[in-house]
Structure 1
Amino acid sequence: MPKETVLEFQNVSFSYNETANVKDLNVKIKEGDFVAVIGSNGAGKSTFSKLCNGLLKPTSGDVLVTGLNTKKEKVSNLAERIGFLFQNPDRQICCQTVAEEIAFSLKNNGIPEDEIKLRVENTIKEFGFKADVEPFNMSRGQRQRLCLACLIALNPKILILDEPTTGLDYKECMEMMNRIKELNKSGTTVIMVCHDMEIVLDFARQVIVMNRGEILASGRTREILCDNELLSKARLLQPQIAATCTLLGSDYKDVFTVDEMIARIKELKGKK
């Protein structure tokens, strides 16, 4: 059975002060996809992400979220379908306690009071939070987890992540990404703006490459990250193991992990 298209860009352009920021974007993202949007600074990634949920409206073209045109819908109406996790969690937190913060977006989306109470309790239990803790007394990583928890409580069909691991240590990063991976496995469509090629390799199944406001290419993660010429054009670097294997030559093509490298060395040794 074909998957439903949940997000579509149709010839989308957006300009700040008559200067094109992104132009002629055509994208179709299917239900259950895990897509990474990559590119160097100024490539248009954050603009792309904000166009997804109506925070920005296209100068020309249309963005459709589960069939709804973002030009015609309020951001609040789209929020129950598409959640947005900002790079800086402090831009999203506005309440005095963890429980109030989780309840806030639920109230804004018209969830009944008894359902809000149940969802807040379940979310606090799932993430191991303390209900009465003040968010700004939490670590950066915990605040980022709180913002993710608030979105999960809403149960959106699509989740937009703008550099979700910025400022996190390795443990916090893995906790965050593994929770997002679980959401994706359960059917949530994930679109992640990310500069960390290792994270992209480990978690995303599809990649969109942007440069100077345009889409250079899109495709399966490994196919994109194998294309050193494409990445160079986008001013990006391959993941570390892949970059090392590129230097080693064609015998090590398509190798991305230490285990894969060991297996390839053994394979080549056995042929001699």
Structure 2
Amino acid sequence: NCRWLCDSLYGFLAEHGRATAGADTGGAPTDGEQDRDALVTMRGVGHGYPTLREGYNHVLDGLDLELYAGDRVALVGANGSGKSTLLRLLTGLESPDRGTVTVLGRDTSETLPEQLADDTVYIHQNPEEMFVEDTVRKDIAYYLENRDAPNVDDRVDEILAYLDLEHLADRDGRLMSLGQQRRASLGIGLATDPTVVLLDEPTGSLDLQSRREVTGMLRKAESRVETVVVASHDLQLVAAWANRVLVMGEGEVLADAPPAAVFSDPDLLAETDLRQPQVVELSRRLGLESPALSTDAMCETLARSLGDDVVEAGGGGGIGEAGDSDDEAESDGGAR
């Protein structure tokens, strides 16, 4: 586990010097980004829901936000912090109580959700809601045909091959495992060639292997869409995949920064009840100058610092696989 690795490797790092793990850039818009047109803009957005006991519950309060092409955005925070509400506002399924939400130049309060869906795809937290036919192949075709897409059969074959879903093509999505449903639902969403993809808890309740497969599909999605926004409690996914993390709380964005900055801020983590992913915690205990955000990055960092032969001597799974049991994987989840 993490403590055993620290004890085993700390001496080596002390002898050979500290290493610096590569950290992804990202975070709040830079001056250069502000010169470009944002794909998504939220201005003074307030939204909430009536409750029986407490009256009106303000979920979002005066939120300002801009998202740009190339953003891989992770929304994190405690339950009720507004992550799912923000996603629904971007789809047009709900209109803000005040303020404006603009997606690709269109005010969501003045645009039908069906029109927004041509360019903005929302992947449900419950993926079975996306399956209406008796095979995954037919489901993908169904969504394409509803958008009058040309060459439907060719596009279905292409997306199945691109996302390695061919072995699921003739399965009934409603009868598949949760991990298979999540992957197939992402295939359905990407088949329509959207500009923005929104996902709600894409790795929730999945085992380790399924989480890795979904993460791999998200990386593949980057070449087909301009912006991906994920609401998630899976902080290992956030660290390894995102280049911009929005920490939600108290109706607003408490932090907008790259993963390395978010997970290196103890005050922010304590305030929002978020936990460092295991690989980031290991980086801290080993004294790395900047945290490794994935197991691959950790292995590469140690290889540079100690020499490839030292890392390989660990055998089999390598440094990065320690602690990757299903039980420990679930512990990366932050606030529940």
TM-score tier after normalising by the smaller chain length:
0.7 to 0.9
| SS of corresponding position for 2:222 | helix
In the alignment, is residue 80 of structure 1 matched against residue 80 of structure 2? no
1:116 counterpart residue number: 152
Q: 4-13 or 150-159, which moves further after superposition? A: 4-13
Counterpart-to-counterpart distance in 1, 2:191 and 2:77: 31
In the alignment, is residue 13 of structure 1 matched against residue 49 of structure 2? no
Q: Give the alignment partner of residue 174 of structure 2, picking from 116, 128, 136.
A: 136
Contact 2:204 2:233 in 1 (8 A): no
After TM superposition, the structure 1 = structure 2 runs for residues 1-272 of structure 1, keeping only pairs within 5 Å, are: 3-17=36-50, 18-112=56-150, 115-126=151-162, 127-244=165-282, 246=284, 251-256=287-292, 258-259=298-299, 262=302
Evaluate the alpha carbon distance shift between residue 241 and residue 142 of structure 1 in structure 2; reply closer, same or farther with a 3 A threshold: closer
| SS of corresponding position for 1:118 | helix
Q: 91-100 or 254-263, which moves further after superposition? A: 254-263
| More RCO (CA 8 Å, sep 6+) | 2
Counterpart-to-counterpart distance in 2, 1:80 and 1:56: 17
Contact 1:86 1:92 in 2 (8 A): yes
Cα offset, 1:7, TM superposition: 0.9
Give ranges in structure 2 of 5+ residues lacking alignment.
1-31, 51-55, 307-336
Aligned pair count reads 263
Evaluate the alpha carbon distance shift between residue 121 and residue 138 of structure 1 in structure 2; reply closer, same or farther with a 3 A threshold: same
Contact 2:204 2:234 in 1 (8 A): no
Counterpart-to-counterpart distance in 1, 2:257 and 2:87: 18
Evaluate the alpha carbon distance shift between residue 235 and residue 117 of structure 1 in structure 2; reply closer, same or farther with a 3 A threshold: same
Letter in 2 for 1:11: G
Evaluate the alpha carbon distance shift between residue 153 and residue 265 of structure 1 in structure 2; reply closer, same or farther with a 3 A threshold: closer
Give ranges in structure 1 of 5+ residues lacking alignment.
267-272
The alignment's C-alpha RMSD in Å is 2.4
Evaluate the alpha carbon distance shift between residue 174 and residue 10 of structure 1 in structure 2; reply closer, same or farther with a 3 A threshold: same
| SS of corresponding position for 1:226 | coil
Sequence identity (%): 30
| SS of corresponding position for 1:5 | coil
Contact 1:42 1:212 in 2 (8 A): no
Counterpart-to-counterpart distance in 2, 1:165 and 1:87: 9
Cα offset, 1:105, TM superposition: 1.5
1:269 counterpart residue number: none
Cα offset, 1:41, TM superposition: 1.3
Evaluate the alpha carbon distance shift between residue 180 and residue 223 of structure 1 in structure 2; reply closer, same or farther with a 3 A threshold: same
1:25-65 deviations in Å (ceiling 9; x for gaps):
11101012101111011111111111111122100011111
Contact 2:193 2:224 in 1 (8 A): no
Q: TM-score, normalised by structure 1?
A: 0.88
| SS of corresponding position for 1:94 | coil
| SS of corresponding position for 1:87 | coil
Q: TM-score, normalised by structure 2?
A: 0.72
Give the number of the structure whose residues are more often strand, by fraction.
Answer: 1
Cα offset, 1:262, TM superposition: 4.4
Cα offset, 1:217, TM superposition: 1.1
